[in-house]
Amino acid sequence: MTNRTEAEFQKPTSLGKRQLRILHLIHNLDREGAQVVLKNIVTSTESNRSNHVVCAWKRGGPIQDDLEKLGVKVFVASQIAKTTRKKAILSAIRQIIISQHIDVIHAHMSDSLFLAAMLTNPIINGSFRLTGGRLNTPVVATHHSNKLTPSTGLEAFFWYILLFWSARAASKHVAISVSVYQQLKSKLLLVDNKMSVVNNGVPIPSAEDIEMAEVAAQNNSKVNIDGSPILVLVGRLVALKGIKQLISASALLLESFPKLNIYIVGEGPLRAELEGQINNLGLLDHVHLVGASDNIPMWLSTADLFVSTSHYEGIPMGILEAMAWKVPVVASNVPGSRDIVQEQSTGLLYPLHDVNGLVEKIIWGLNNRHQLRQYAETAFDIASNKFSTLTMNNSYQDVYIEVLNHE
């Protein structure tokens, strides 16, 4: 491969069978949906045709520890730059791209796409007068949510202009679902040959994985596995996850299932507010905020139902993980969730914000376990064939090769 210098960044003359070097650019490595997708891309043992490097440009996080334990090279640009100033961070990212001989920049979400555009687009790069000039490295941008920009106000207009401008720098835009694809096409005016759909992928557990998760649950004092019904929700404690709906529903569910336990797995800024709601409704013995976890399979192995109350999604990783673990799903009927949960086929859907509707679906599910198991089996087949890490990684590899061949 040609050595890349400060002066010129050339694509390889022949891809051959060598591993491609991919830089994943993301704002942080907290335990959130896009970050979990990134982790599944770079750590999968099912597809090793690329050598992945990760750059969190704002800060690291718990997923950084996971990646480094698995031998993935991780950089935190703000630490290298020793400042949060954008020009210094861009300079740090630039040096990472050059020193690691990166073939493709894979930007995750619109803020990372903007930084990639500043490094690679001649107009944007020139406008900001960045040291060293522009790089010729192709950019792939993955859009992880149906919400491309803030919803209203001047901030929404500003972000839309910024995203529209930055989008022209990407060789390929990846939508994680058909609904996200449609948003990109209508709002950013992208043409079909600049876009692809690559569904999020999750590991499909082996028999050994299932046994290990069940043993972990039995040894966890936080989990009540005495045969009482168990609901599990996995997500950050933020407003868009709609967790207050499930807590409100819990008070009504106890009338039918007095021994019900609900485990909410995740952390976030709403913890104190949710704790107050749980306390005010007298649910301390039934609704448990267990915090962030690096062992989601353990919680899924205990669940009778997985619940998602999100206001919007791209392709929800929690639901995909539940499908892979054959856990029946009740989800809000919103874009993203309804792309993978079909009513009375692969799970149950309820109208967003309708607490009574959520209660009805959960009661029906817990009273019809045999039917739920059939839904879970159908969902597992779909997850195995369409939403596995193998399928996802093969699709991304095709995207990387396509953009390099067209440079």
Taking Cα atoms as reference points, which of 194, 193, 148 lies closest to residue 168?
Answer: 194
Tell me if 20-199+389-405 shares its fold with 207-386: yes
- Domain positions in the chain: 20-199+389-405, 207-386
State how far the Cα of 393 lies from the Cα of 149, in Å rounded to an integer: 27
Query: Is 103:135 a contact under the CB 8 Å cutoff?
Result: no
Backbone φ and ψ of 353, nearest 5°: 75, 0
Identify the architecture of domain 20-199+389-405 in CATH: 3-Layer(aba) Sandwich (3.40)
Divide the 407 residues of the chain into consecutive groups of 10 and give the mean pLDDT of each group: 40 62 97 93 77 96 94 96 90 95 96 93 57 81 86 78 91 94 92 95 93 88 81 95 97 96 96 98 96 93 96 91 97 93 94 97 96 96 94 95 89
Instruction: Give the per-residue pLDDT at 7.
Output: 39
Instruction: Give the per-residue pLDDT at 133.
Output: 62
Instruction: Give the per-residue pLDDT at 355.
Output: 97
Instruction: Give the per-residue pLDDT at 8.
Output: 42
Backbone φ and ψ of 274, nearest 5°: -70, -40
Tokens representing residue 259 in the block: 């021994």
Q: How many CB atoms lie within 10 A of CB 373?
A: 12
Residue found by looking up tokens 């040609």 in the block: 2
Buried b / exposed e over 32-59, threshold 16 CB at 10 Å, is bbbbbbbbbbbbbeebeebbbbbbbbbe
Q: E strand or H helix at 174, and its extent?
A: strand 172-175
CATH code that applies to domain 207-386: 3.40.50.2000
Of the CA atoms within 13 Å of residue 40, those in its CB half-sphere come to 25
SS3 77: helix
Greatest alpha-carbon span in the chain: 70
CA 390 to chain centre: 16
Instruction: Give the per-residue pLDDT at 67.
Output: 96
Instruction: Give the per-residue pLDDT at 46.
Output: 57
State how far the Cα of 292 lies from the Cα of 258, in Å rounded to an integer: 26
pTM above 0.75, yes or no: yes
CA angle 102, 107, 113 (to 5 degrees): 120
What is the chain's percent helix, strand, coil content, to nearest 5?
Answer: 45, 15, 40
State how far the Cα of 395 lies from the Cα of 389, in Å rounded to an integer: 10
Q: Which amino acid is at 13?
A: T
Q: Where are the alpha helices (DSSP H) in 44-139?
A: 62-69, 77-81, 86-99, 110-120, 122-128
